[in-house]
């Protein structure tokens, strides 16, 4: 979840609860070294933009830090027009420098993940896992359900691992997606509302009172959110000012998906993880 993805404290809590944390670090080396110091390993997903893999020094750093997973974020999505016209291919995947660095990561046992928003994507025989977001997800949404996109991606890339991102409100949802063929599920909104999350307590309390019927889908960016207090003027794409206020409990908004229905109280991350896996055999 944007604004919470940099929360190192939350990533550590997710790890200690037995799940795989995702982190978009403010400072790659500093954050990963602190994570390793406090957990004893580097078993986490680091989110980077595709353009980062043109930087040989950055790739060297990922290898030296012994990162376990790298999730590639499409760096060209900066407007709803681009989101609506997004292609399953990316020009980066035809660039020798980019491909060489992807292969370097893989040769050093780093797994590569990439997001799928609106239609199945190519894996180029290099992507280990596809992360699937649909209309139930927080932030970017579409007219396609996670379930439909999961099936289409499974048909296109039967050998890739598939991870659904969004729509996890409880153990029934976890079981549903695993039964449909997902190898894992991603959780955002429930962790954002956890005790360990950096979000202000007033915002978390508001999340408890909301359901998916209260979600706003911004007309210009097609992002699912809970609006706390609308601003007088529009923010730029991704609404960083409004998002910052929401996290601080001062108005604005936070991103949330259909899983907001599962935020019925403010739990610890461990309580949330233990609850979500109750129907997994």
Helix (H) or strand (E) holding 225: strand 223-229
DSSP annotation of 214: G
Neighbours of 172 (CB within 10 A): 12
In a domain? residue 3: no
Query: Of 192, 218, 236, which closes a domain?
Result: 192
Give this prediction's pTM. 0.91
278: left (phi over 0), alpha (psi -120 to 50) or beta: alpha
pLDDT at 1 over 60: no
Mean pLDDT on 168-184: 97
pLDDT at 237 over 90: no
Mean pLDDT on 135-163: 92
In a domain? residue 173: yes
DSSP annotation of 145: -
Cα 130 from Cα 150, distance rounded (Å): 9
Burial class (CB in 10 A: 0-12, 13-18, 19+), 64: exposed
Domain, as residue range, for 41: 8-192
Are 144 and 118 within 8 A, CB to CB?
A: yes
One domain for residues 139 and 241: no
pLDDT mean across residues, the chain: 90
In a domain? residue 149: yes
The number of domains in the chain is 2
pLDDT at 109 over 90: yes
In a domain? residue 268: no
The pLDDT confidence band at residue 217, using thresholds 50, 70 and 90, is confident
One domain for residues 92 and 229: no
Cα 127 from Cα 160, distance rounded (Å): 7
In a domain? residue 272: no
């Amino acid at each position: 979840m944007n604004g919470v993805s940099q929360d190192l404290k939350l990533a550590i809590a997710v790890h200690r609860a037995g799940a795989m944390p995702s982190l978009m670090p403010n400072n790659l080396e500093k954050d990963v070294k602190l994570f390793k110091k406090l957990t004893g390993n580097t078993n986490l997903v680091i989110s980077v933009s595709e353009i980062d893999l043109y930087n040989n020094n950055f790739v060297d750093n990922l290898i030296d830090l012994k990162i376990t997973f790298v999730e590639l974020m499409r760096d060209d999505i900066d407007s709803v027009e681009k989101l609506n016209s997004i292609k399953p291919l990316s020009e980066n995947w035809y660039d020798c420098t980019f491909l060489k660095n992807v292969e370097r990561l893989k040769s050093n046992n780093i797994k590569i993940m990439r997001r799928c928003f609106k239609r199945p994507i190519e894996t180029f025989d290099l992507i280990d896992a596809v992360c699937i977001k649909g209309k139930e997800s927080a932030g970017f949404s579409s007219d396609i359900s996670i379930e439909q996109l999961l099936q289409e991606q499974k048909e296109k890339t039967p050998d890739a691992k598939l991870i659904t991102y969004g729509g996890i409100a409880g153990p029934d949802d976890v079981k549903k997606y695993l039964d449909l063929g997902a190898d894992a599920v991603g959780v955002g909104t429930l962790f954002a509302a956890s005790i360990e999350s950096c979000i202000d307590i007033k915002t978390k309390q508001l999340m408890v009172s909301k359901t998916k019927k209260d979600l706003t889908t911004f007309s210009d960016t097609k992002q699912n959110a809970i609006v706390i207090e609308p601003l007088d003027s529009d923010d730029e794409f991704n609404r960083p000012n409004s998002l910052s206020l929401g996290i601080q409990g001062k108005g604005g908004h936070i991103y949330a998906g259909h899983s907001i229905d599962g935020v019925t109280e403010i739990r610890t991350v461990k309580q949330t993880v233990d609850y979500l896996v109750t129907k997994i055999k």
